[in-house]
Amino acid sequence: MAELSGKYLVGVYDDDDTVLHAVPKLRKAGVKIKEVYSPFPIHGLDEALGHPRTRIGIAAFMFGVTGCCAVLTLMIWTMGYDWPMIIGGKDPISIPNYIPITFEGTVLFTAFGMVTTFLISNGLGPGTHFHPRFDVRATDNKFIMAIEMSRNSMSEEEISRALKDSGAEEVNIKQF
């Protein structure tokens, strides 16, 4: 998570269904929501918030293609050109024998590439644990909605009321 600054209104919900239904309601009322934090994935929440669909799958595919090519190239070059050898009466370059390692290499590159992309795109990494958070209960049993005041034209009272109306059990002000 990136560093936070400014003034935030923080709505605390105690149920995943409530928060999921609150998001479209608040957006309709003109409240710009920064993000919702939850202890577990809530299906449909990212779409409700208007987050674009993740492109991590494209990255994964690219890493897979890279891995496949890299490993295949290594085998063809070493076995076929750098030190050609005939083993078991087969051609120096015998692709069927390279399939298992090509597969493993593809999986390895995809998994590591994708996970690295995941960590970087979410700003996850060692040394980030001193970053402030809106509410530590977001990893236990509460669902936290953060609203950045500087990005909203509505007044604090209006947003606070809208949050309460949508089912928030607490509304806190957080200043970073």
Partner 1 sequence: MHVTSPVREPLIQGGKTYADVTEDICRHVEATPTKEWKIAFGLSLIVLAYGSVCLAWTWWEGLGVWGLNKTVGWAWDITNFVWWVGIGHAGTLISAILLLFRQKWRTSINRAAEAMTIFAVICAASFILMHMGRPWMAYWALPLPNAFGSLWVNFNSPLVWDVFAISTYFSVSLVFWYIGLIPDLATIRDRATSKVSKFMYGTFAMGWDGSAKTWARYEYISLILAGLSTPLVLSVHTIVSMDFATSVIPGWHTTIFPPYFVAGAIFSGFAMVQNLMLITRVVYKLEDYITLEHIETMNKVITLTGSVVGVAYITEFFIAWYGGVEYEYYAFFNRMTGPYWWAYWAMMTCNVISPQLFWSRKLRRSITFTFFISVVVNIGMWFERFVIIVTSLHRDYIPSSWAMFSPTRYDIGDYIFSFGLFFTLFLLFSKYLPVVNMAEVKAVLRSTSAQLPAKIAGVAKVRQRGTAEPVYNKDQE
Rounded Cα distance, 123 and 120, in Å? 5
Helices then strands, each counted (H, E), the chain: 5, 4
Query: Mask of contacts with partner 1, 13-42, x by CB under 8 A?
Result: -xxxx-----------------xxxxxxxx
CB of 141 to partner 1, least distance (A): 4
Q: Using the rule CB under 8 A, which residue among 97, 149, 154, 172 binds partner 1?
A: 97
Nearer CB in complex with partner 1: 87/173: 87
Rounded Cα distance, 22 and 169, in Å? 12
Neighbours of 63 (CB within 10 A): 21
Q: How many residues does the chain have?
A: 176
CB of 7 to partner 1, least distance (A): 19
Q: Is 106 exposed, middle or buried (0-12, 13-18, 19+ CB in 10 A)?
A: buried
Q: Could you tell me the end-to-end alpha-carbon distance of the chain, in angstroms, rounded to an integer?
A: 14
Could you tell me which residues are beta bridge partners of residue 144?
12, 37
CB of 158 to partner 1, least distance (A): 23
Neighbours of 12 (CB within 10 A): 19
Q: Using the rule CB under 8 A, which residue among 7, 30, 54, 173 binds partner 1?
A: 54
Residues 101-140 that bind partner 1 (CB under 8 A): 101, 103-105, 107-108, 110-112, 114-115, 118-119, 121-131, 133, 136-140
Residues that bind partner 1 (CB under 8 A): 1, 14-17, 35-42, 45-46, 49, 51, 54, 56-57, 60, 74-75, 78-79, 82-83, 85, 87-88, 90, 94, 97-98, 100-101, 103-105, 107-108, 110-112, 114-115, 118-119, 121-131, 133, 136-141
